[in-house]
Amino acid sequence: MKIAVYPGSFDPITLGHLDIIKRASKMFDKMVVLVSVNTAKSPLFSVNERVNMIKEATADLGNVDVQSYEGLLIDYCKNNNIKIIIRGLRAITDFEYELQIAQTNKMFSNGDVDTVFLTTSLEYAYLSSSTVREFASFHGDISRCVTPHVAQMVYSKYGYKDSEKIGGNEDEQ
């Protein structure tokens, strides 16, 4: 059975992440979306909230499992007999960082774990969790960036009750 893991912060999961998950889930027998617990970052959403949002967004994909993990990714891979890591590439700016991590994981797993890169679909090339957070914090329209459920969750973090009156214009003041 070919199992792959797609690790990330997913704070929150975007349509760009979802696109990678859907495409990768067709390539492997099973896929684990792994929310990394990164103590260096202070996330908007708790690990549980992020796991639940991803579960909701991937409910229709039968071979996708959602987990969280605190520790080294290669240890998670070793413990779960996973040999493939999925990462997404948006632009050349992602490349240097991703290459370094992929090579480090390859080396520290003694060559056991490889990283497979999927390039972003063009319509999501601009999209990141941080721009979603930034936009939502000013009540900007994030409906083309995340699922409706995630949009509600993000808006409520910033104290916006209705996601219909969006745009962050003068009416807000």
Find the catalytic residue in 9, 25, 36, 129.
129
As measured in angstroms, the least distance from the Cβ of 2 to ligand ADP is 19
User: Please, which residue, 149 or 165, has the CB nearer to ligand ADP?
Assistant: 149
As measured in angstroms, the least distance from the Cβ of 122 to ligand ADP is 10
The reply to whether 50 belongs to the active site is: no
Task: Give the footprint of ligand ADP on this chain (CB under 6 A).
Answer: 8-10, 14, 16-17, 20, 87-88, 90, 94, 120, 124, 127-129
**Residue 140 φ/ψ, nearest 5 degrees:** -75, 165
As measured in angstroms, the least distance from the Cβ of 161 to ligand ADP is 27
The reply to whether 17 belongs to the active site is: yes
User: Please, which residue, 128 or 137, has the CB nearer to ligand ADP?
Assistant: 128
Find the catalytic residue in 9, 17, 133, 163.
17
As measured in angstroms, the least distance from the Cβ of 103 to ligand ADP is 15
User: Please, which residue, 93 or 172, has the CB nearer to ligand ADP?
Assistant: 93
d(CA 124, CA 15): 7
DSSP bridge pairs for 89: 119
The reply to whether 133 belongs to the active site is: no
The reply to whether 139 belongs to the active site is: no
Q: Annotated active-site positions, please?
A: 17, 41, 90, 129
